[in-house]
Structure 1
Amino acid sequence: MNHYHQSSGTIEINTRLVTTGVVLTAVGAVTAWAGMAITASAVFAAGRRIIREMDVPPTQQAAAKLRQAREASRAGMEAWHSTSGTQT
């Protein structure tokens, strides 16, 4: 059986080797995607577990930090107004 294909020029291509290469590449890509999916699943599960074990949930922490920032901003504005002699 002749596995060589004569193209329009003088290049001879071994189609069996090309086919084998394509198949191996496809198998490698599928294996890589499966590995990435398993890794992502493990990382997300660990993240969920860490969040569940927190004393204060992240949403409450964010709300508290936002309140602190607003209070600090208000205090800064009040201090600035009191030193500049204007009141709001």
Structure 2
Amino acid sequence: MNQHHHHRSPARAFDIDTRLVTAGAMLTVCGSLVACAGLALAGFALVNAGRQWVRQMEVPPGELAAAKLRQAKQASLAGMQAWQAAQGDGGRTNP
């Protein structure tokens, strides 16, 4: 029996130009830093605009929220009383 040995040439190495990879990585890092700086500036501008807007309000947001909550509670109570009055017994239950 004759055995045939197949001789393969060694696979060529995967050649990567490390200079291009390094340059790409550096550009990515620089771009990320510029993007972060832009986001920080935009956020700072938005926060300052929000603070100025709140300062210019006649009624502070906390007071406005409290007033709206009181109104909602009063409206809820009035609605409940109207519903009970419509039931005919003024909301009282008979045992």
TM-score, with normalisation over the residues of structure 1? Answer: 0.86
Q: Unaligned regions of 5+ residues in structure 1, if any?
A: 1-7
Q: Mark the CA change 1:10 to 1:80 in structure 2 (over 3 Å): closer, same or farther.
A: same
1:44 is aligned to 47
Structure 1 residue matching 2:16: 3-state secondary structure = strand
Change (3 A) 1:67 1:9: farther
TM-score of the pair, normalised by structure 2 = 0.80
Select the structure of larger CA radius of gyration. Answer: 2
Partner Cα separation in structure 1 for residue 58 and residue 35 of structure 2 = 37
**Comparing both structures, which one devotes a greater share of its residues to strand?**
1
More helix by percentage: 1
Which residue number in structure 1 is paired with residue 76 of structure 2?
73
List per-residue Cα deviations over 1:5-35 (Å, max 9, x = no partner).
xxx8532100000000000000000000000
Q: Secondary structure at the match of 1:55?
A: coil
Identity, % of aligned pairs? 47
Q: Which has the higher contact order (CA 8 A, sep 6+)?
A: 1
RMSD in angstroms over aligned alpha carbons?
A: 1.4
Matched, 1:29 2:32: yes
Structure 2: gaps (5+ residues): 1-10
Give the aligned partner of residue 58 of structure 2. 55
Instruction: Using the TM superposition, give the Cα deviation of residue 67 of structure 1 relative to its aligned residue in structure 2, in angstroms.
Output: 0.4
- Give the length in aligned residue pairs: 81
Q: 1:86 to 1:37 in 2, by over 3 A?
A: same
